[in-house]
Chains A and B, each alone.
Chain A
């Protein structure tokens, strides 16, 4: 292996071990913590009082037009 090979390999494998390991821990924590529950509420988070569910924002005019 040349010095370039070793440098490349260290960068790549090093980052995978560091990032990948942390990612595995974090995903485990996320599931235990219930981070992936309650999706249905979330789907409505883009709507608010002035642009509520049921009121198109680029199609039918709302009440305030």
Chain B
């Protein structure tokens, strides 16, 4: 035997110790967990994702959402902070309403991949389906996050949406967003000065009528100031001939987000 073998085997020994500790024990400990059922006849929690929500999980996965959004709510005891009176407190996650309780291993037994995440460039999403159950909000937010929060730096997911000419009546699924967000999906659109002049020349009168209907004061579009005010108004109205609807992937992603309810159902092991 020579030293090469010694090194090889020594490295194996030291390495297997960590392997045993970090991977095998937890695997044994956590691999056996079952869904929770308080009483006979209750629907067990959690349930595996199905259908549209499962497809949406793939969209979430393939676009790397978890690199900015975690899916874990930490306990009341996690992390120090001091309130306005200088009093020491802990546990921001629940106070930020990321969940009603901390998440525990049982919440994830059907997750594959388990996208716990390691970075909160954006807020936690473990319980987003409870925290914000509005489907239209999620669609408008995904199309352009700035339409919901002006300060947001989240990427636009306009590629999950299609802008199409309205045939017949507007689709039920169409996003109710102002034209500034829908003319060029993903961007915040404004007409150039020349384009605006052309639009005014074409339909200025009807726009003024529309504006005046909801406003006490009339508007004079011969002045620059008036033109500007009318433009601001016009941008906040929906497009007449076009609509933006989610593609299948967009619908799936929102279905997944709404299915994220990991920190709602009470579990006995998540008391603290």
Contacts and interface: CB of A to CB of B under 8 A. Distances in A.
A and B associate: yes
Interface of A: 1, 5, 8-9, 12-13, 15-16, 19-20, 22-27, 29-30, 35
Most buried by A among B6, B24, B32: B6
Contact of A26 (B1, B19, B20): B1
Given A8-B27, A13-B24, A22 B19 contact: no
Query: Interface residues of B: mostly helix, strand, loop or mixed?
Result: helix
A59 B73 CA distance: 55
Closest 4 CB pairs of A and B: A23-B13, A23-B9, A26-B9, A30-B6
A11 to B, nearest CB: 10
B12 interface: yes
Interface in B9-24: 9-13, 16, 19-20, 23-24
Bin the interface of chain B by size. 10 to 19
Interface of B: 1, 3, 5-6, 9-13, 16, 19-20, 23-24, 27-28, 31-32
Contacts of B9: 19, 22-23, 25-27
Contacts of B31: 5
Contact of B20 (A8, A16, A30): A16
Contacts of B23: 12
Contacts of B19: 12, 16
25 contacts: A1-B32, A5-B31, A8-B27, A9-B24, A12-B23, A16-B16, A16-B24, A19-B9, A19-B12, A19-B16, A20-B16, A23-B10, A23-B12, A23-B13, A23-B16, A24-B13, A26-B5, A26-B9, A27-B6, A27-B10, A29-B1, A29-B6, A30-B3, A30-B6, A35-B3
Most buried by A among B11, B23, B24: B24
Most buried by A among B1, B5, B16: B16
Contact of A27 (B13, B27, B32): B13
Contact of B13 (A8, A12, A13, A19): A19
B24 to A, nearest CB: 5
